[in-house]
Structure 1
Amino acid sequence: MLTHGNVVADFSGFLKVTDKVIFPNQDDVLISFLPLAHMFERLIESVVYCHGGRIGFFQGDIRLLSDDMKALRPTILPVVPRLLNRMYDKIFSQANTPLKRWLLNFAAKRKGAEVSNGIIRMDSLWDKIFFSKIQVSTSPPPLLPMSGLIRLMYASLGGRLRHVGAPLPCNLIKLVDVAEKNYFAAKGEGEVCVKGPNVFKGYLKDPERTAETLDKDGWLHTGDIGKWLPNGTLKIIDRKKHIFKLAQGEYISPEKIENIYIRCEPVTQLYVHGDSLQTMPAWALKKGMEGSYRDLCKNTVLKKAIMEDLQRLGKASGLHSFEQVKNIYIHNEQFSIKNGLLTPTLKAKRPELKEFFKEKIEDLYENISM
């Protein structure tokens, strides 16, 4: 339950910490494509409206977002990391020769080095050669990484990608011990807990779930593991919630693995489980496999190829062997709000997914090859 006071407190806190960094005006245009149930989107839209800016809404098809952006030419783009990863992978997949891939990688590293040093421009040599083709704005906007929860509104904001910033003025933040994962507040690490007027009041008619999240002193336990950096900013380094323990004792974060595997080209959505848009046909065709989407989902050769690509991505991203998935099931229908597998903010409903795929999960375990 979010009150009007929660929204006002968060809105005011956001304006206070961004007034010297971003100040929208009547010339600014925001493109809205995140669900309006997403408080991040609603917060940013409120800021734009407050300053007299304009908002354009996408067509409703995320696959056409690039067309919408070219038509609207937005100056403000609220975006989540998963979409940025998709954009990045799509751009790099178009470099279809070793030389093009090397040049694009080199150009991206040079641009990344400039951004890390606070140099944000759109007229460099690499912009003229590569990036001008994908730019949607005529001037370089500031980059503002943000972190938060729907229950909290948005609690922290930072100007660099290495951390989530300092708390908003309306928040107190503390870290508490998570002994089972060897994180201790005395070392500046632990579960992030937040308190303040923008913290939600609880779950509607669900006191048990509310008590699990809000303690008796009003602290919201986020489930994120954070670390204080020397400059006073907060970095998220792990998750406490949605983890499971393997038989050999290691703790696994399925969300961490999902965020790596989602970058596999033929994979649109996935759900990783363990106990204590039609992009696949085009990818399959490049591998020499043809057929309808439903037929491809049953193709054992394709399944093996996807497994190999997932393992490659996992290894390249530093996953331990025990964190890598050992078996997969390819489903022929996307997760959606309509079929009850996604929340209104398009996040996976893990308990519902576990129940929905219960029989398939049992089959996967029976046929696992170690």
Structure 2
Amino acid sequence: MAERAHPDLFRPVPLDKQTKILQGKGGIRVSPKISCTSEKDFNCDELTLDGHAKTVYEGFLRGERVSNDGPCLGWRASGSQPYQWMSYSEVRRKAQYFGSALVEKGLDPSNETKVAIYSQNRPEWVIADLGCITYSMVTVPLYSTLGPEGYEHIINLTEVRLIVVDTHEKVTSLLDQCSKLPTLKHMVVMETPITDEITEKAVKMGVDLIAYDDFLASGERNLKDPVPCNPDDVAVIRFTSGTTGIPKGAMMTHANIMASATNMYISSRDCFSFDPGYRYISYLPLAHGLEHSAQALLFHSGCSVGFFRGDLKELVNDIQELKPELFAVVPRLANKLYDKIMAKINASYVKRALFRWAFNAKKREVDRGIFSKNTWYDKIVFGKIQALLGGQLQWIVTGSAPISDEVLTFFRVVFGCPVSEAYGQTEATCGATFTLPNETSSGHVGSPLPNVMIKLVDVEEMGYLASQDKGEICMKGSCVFKGYFKNQEKTDEAIDSEGWLHSGDIGEWLPNGALKITDRKKNIYKLSQGEYVAPEKIENVLMRSPLVGQAFVYGESLQSYNIAVIAPEEEELKKFAENNAIKGKVEELCENETVRRAIQAEIDKQCTAAKLCGFEKVRKFILHPEPFSVENGLLTPTFKNKRNVIKAMFKEKIDQLYSEN
């Protein structure tokens, strides 16, 4: 990859000086790699991956060249079959067919045209997205957890005329809503054959239904010249997950996405080279910033993206077949992998003793910044565990929520590679900070990425002052979004008059210059004694207990204490029940008084260990046998609690507990 940026951008950052404070007021901090000395001198637009690719489309064309038309998109039909691959040129041609078919359907090849994609990650998703940007159109991704009201709002707001859908179930759901979707006229369906029942319903609703392959064939017959996009054109309108209220459409430009790709490349240079042909497993939702921006960088570099089969239960099997060099993991999945691995290790005294010996010995090397898979400990102990994720990992990235120190250290030691924790939000395109490749500590999210300035501002009502290196995290740079689609009021709330994006997260600068996320401004509430409570902070504390799988904390201004909804960690719950001679299914265990006393004791223990104030502690809880999930609508696609949904679901039980004062 061409290194057009200044060589200093690729020098290692010392772990004890992870930020540089710019001159002037505001305490603005940047990466130590940046040579500027003041906000006025900060010119992040000059930081590009190379001198040519300034849009996602141009980046893909570069990937085709540097990969020598190598494998681009991979998939497998079943767990017993190998991955099949499409080359870069084949993907590019199919994208042009797709875009030409859009134009043939009467869609204008301009940045005013919006095309929705309602699908899990798969090659067709990427081809549809690339087809849109080949003709300067804008992609509007949808996801299942939006529900009918959510996608109705989005389709009508963006005036989508054509939507690409993967399954018959989603097609049927959309057709059932068609009377409320006046602009929707065309559906391109990936799952074939399309049933007569669905076809008849579409005709009745006045919707043109066409199979994906037939759509491509139409474009091939009516091939149009590309209408390339510009860097400042909108590439995608990415709607927020809707943890609270109506989803807002964040407009991300090509320049935003390429800035995020540049950030990832510069920040990972010391541990990952993005060589053509390197493989990546795609399972995190493409509707969200991390996955979409990561793939822009991967395609620019000529790497190969293999897709999971759509079932998270089979993800490990897909990884073992693909053998990726790069793996992005969310804490919820990392925790499950960790729990399953440790359960097998702890089942045997010999295995447990051998593992502890090897782990402690190798950790001493990791603490010195040495990552390796070639030690005796790897050959004797860790090799089989590494094989669970393909055995070829060179870099692991985690984000979307805090990851525990224990799990983070486990992954670094056992898999023998750097694990970087990213922090950002939809409105910052992807990430704003990254832990350094040679980082060995945990509990923070690293330093600002090269294209980003960060400052903290006072939140007086919560006692956070920038003069004490604490406050709301604000970001500025080329990764900050263009604004919310048709919502200037919310845009003005998010971005102030000086161009600073206000995140709503509370951060603290550590002595080494790393940023620590400590609280959340938006999800706070006040209890009757006048104290402000940040529930997400308490939830993270509760989930440190092995018996607690997930937690939702709630309080009201007329009440003096907090209530939690807890989904227990099923394997640990069963183990506890067996050790205490308690029989029954999970639902029955959740009603057992011995179990409830044990969980209350764990809650008290974790709250005390975290030194929570009295008003922050959880006095009562609801034990719910079913885990919060994307499928049951209690989690967003990035595995965050859907606070309003959980609150509504358990409101009656919460009211009952409060009435028992």
Quick check: TM above 0.5?
yes
Q: Residue type matched to 2:649 in 1?
A: F
Supply the distance in 1 between the matched residues of 2:263 and 2:505 (Cα, whole angstroms). Answer: 21
Give the direction of change, closer, same or farther, for the CA distance of 1:318–1:339 in structure 2 (3 Å limit).
same
Supply the distance in 2 between the matched residues of 1:298 and 1:155 (Cα, whole angstroms). Answer: 44
Supply the distance in 1 between the matched residues of 2:310 and 2:601 (Cα, whole angstroms). Answer: 33
Q: Residue type matched to 1:150 in 2?
A: T
Supply the distance in 2 between the matched residues of 1:306 and 1:70 (Cα, whole angstroms). Answer: 36
Supply the distance in 2 between the matched residues of 1:326 and 1:336 (Cα, whole angstroms). Answer: 25
Work out whether residues 213 and 222 of structure 1, in 8 Å CA contact, stay in contact via their aligned partners in 2: yes
Q: Residue type matched to 1:210 in 2?
A: T
Equivalent residue for 2:619?
Answer: 326
Give the direction of change, closer, same or farther, for the CA distance of 1:268–1:193 in structure 2 (3 Å limit).
same
Give the direction of change, closer, same or farther, for the CA distance of 1:319–1:29 in structure 2 (3 Å limit).
farther
Work out whether residues 452 and 477 of structure 2, in 8 Å CA contact, stay in contact via their aligned partners in 1: yes
Q: Work out whether 1:175 is the aligned partner of 2:456.
A: yes
Give 1:119 deviation, angstroms.
0.9
CA offsets per residue over residues 15-67 of structure 1, 9 Å max, x none? Answer: 34434542212342212222222311222222222222222222333344333
Q: Residue type matched to 2:362 in 1?
A: K
Q: Work out whether 1:221 is the aligned partner of 2:502.
A: yes
CA offsets per residue over residues 269-319 of structure 1, 9 Å max, x none? Answer: 331112249936744652433334444444444333333334444445554
What aligned pairs does 1:1-370 form with structure 2 within 5 A after superposition? 1-4=250-253, 5-94=255-344, 95-96=346-347, 104-105=355-356, 107-135=358-386, 136=389, 137-138=391-392, 140-153=416-429, 154-159=431-436, 160=439, 161-162=441-442, 163-248=444-529, 250-265=531-546, 267-276=548-557, 279=570, 282-283=574-575, 285-286=577-578, 287-320=580-613, 322-337=615-630, 339-367=632-660
SS in 2 for 1:85: helix
Give the direction of change, closer, same or farther, for the CA distance of 1:33–1:262 in structure 2 (3 Å limit).
farther
Give the direction of change, closer, same or farther, for the CA distance of 1:107–1:236 in structure 2 (3 Å limit).
farther
Work out whether residues 85 and 263 of structure 1, in 8 Å CA contact, stay in contact via their aligned partners in 2: no
SS in 2 for 1:86: helix
Supply the distance in 2 between the matched residues of 1:186 and 1:78 (Cα, whole angstroms). Answer: 35
Residue-pair matches, total: 368
Supply the distance in 2 between the matched residues of 1:103 and 1:21 (Cα, whole angstroms). Answer: 29
Work out whether residues 570 and 586 of structure 2, in 8 Å CA contact, stay in contact via their aligned partners in 1: no
Q: Based on CA coordinates, which of the two structures has the bigger radius of gyration?
A: 2
Of 253-262 and 150-159, the range deviating more from structure 2: 253-262
SS in 2 for 1:134: helix
Of 291-300 and 321-330, the range deviating more from structure 2: 291-300
Q: Alpha carbon RMSD of aligned pairs, Å? A: 3.2
Supply the distance in 2 between the matched residues of 1:112 and 1:247 (Cα, whole angstroms). Answer: 47
Q: Residue type matched to 1:67 in 2?
A: N
Give 1:127 deviation, angstroms.
3.0
Work out whether residues 577 and 595 of structure 2, in 8 Å CA contact, stay in contact via their aligned partners in 1: no
Give the direction of change, closer, same or farther, for the CA distance of 1:12–1:128 in structure 2 (3 Å limit).
closer
Supply the distance in 2 between the matched residues of 1:127 and 1:260 (Cα, whole angstroms). Answer: 33
SS in 2 for 1:363: helix
Give the direction of change, closer, same or farther, for the CA distance of 1:307–1:10 in structure 2 (3 Å limit).
same
Give the direction of change, closer, same or farther, for the CA distance of 1:233–1:309 in structure 2 (3 Å limit).
closer
Q: Residue type matched to 2:541 in 1?
A: I
Supply the distance in 2 between the matched residues of 1:156 and 1:170 (Cα, whole angstroms). Answer: 10
| TM-score using structure 1 length | 0.84
Could you tell me which runs of 5 or more consecutive residues in structure 2 were left unpaired when the two chains were aligned: 1-249, 395-415, 558-566
| TM-score using structure 2 length | 0.50
CA offsets per residue over residues 106-140 of structure 1, 9 Å max, x none? Answer: 64444334223211112334434432221132464
CA offsets per residue over residues 40-98 of structure 1, 9 Å max, x none? Answer: 12222222222222222223333443333333222111112333233333333331467
Give the direction of change, closer, same or farther, for the CA distance of 1:285–1:69 in structure 2 (3 Å limit).
farther
Could you tell me which runs of 5 or more consecutive residues in structure 1 were left unpaired when the two chains were aligned: none
CA offsets per residue over residues 135-166 of structure 1, 9 Å max, x none? Answer: 13246443332211111121122212444333
Work out whether residues 258 and 293 of structure 2, in 8 Å CA contact, stay in contact via their aligned partners in 1: no
Work out whether residues 89 and 263 of structure 1, in 8 Å CA contact, stay in contact via their aligned partners in 2: no
Q: Residue type matched to 1:8 in 2?
A: M
% of aligned pairs identical? 41
Supply the distance in 2 between the matched residues of 1:211 and 1:110 (Cα, whole angstroms). Answer: 53
From the two aligned structures, give the one with the greater strand fraction: 2
SS in 2 for 1:327: strand
Of 325-334 and 91-100, the range deviating more from structure 2: 91-100
CA offsets per residue over residues 162-200 of structure 1, 9 Å max, x none? Answer: 443332232221111122333222232221101223212
Of 103-112 and 266-275, the range deviating more from structure 2: 103-112
Supply the distance in 1 between the matched residues of 2:630 and 2:316 (Cα, whole angstroms). Answer: 24
